[in-house]
């Protein structure tokens, strides 16, 4: 699998946190931006939208696979 973060200038940890918060909780892009700002990450909601559009399906699929693996293991 190729690196999904290769075209972004931000840290992969910040991108992963942002997208996972957006997937896990019912947040708007602005709320996601405000939560990150409280943690010291200053980005605009358009950046969050871009990350979500590109990486959201990848992380959602990974999360679904993890759930299936846990169920199969017992």
Does residue 22 surpass a pLDDT of 70? yes
pLDDT tier at 55, thresholds 50, 70, 90: confident
Question: Residue 72: what pLDDT?
Answer: 53
| C-alpha–C-alpha distance, residues 65 and 20, integer Å | 15
> Is the entire prediction scored with pTM above 0.85?
no
**Regarding predicted confidence, which is higher, 1 or 36?**
36
CA distances from 19 to 8, 53, 71 (A): 13, 9, 24
């Amino acid at each position: 699998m190729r690196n999904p973060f290769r075209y972004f200038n931000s840290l992969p940890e910040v991108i992963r946190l942002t997208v996972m918060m957006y997937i896990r909780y019912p947040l708007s892009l602005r709320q996601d931006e405000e939560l990150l700002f409280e943690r010291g990450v200053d980005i605009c909601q358009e950046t969050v939208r871009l990350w979500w559009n590109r990486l959201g399906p990848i992380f959602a699929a990974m999360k679904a696979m993890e759930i299936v693996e846990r169920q199969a293991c017992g």
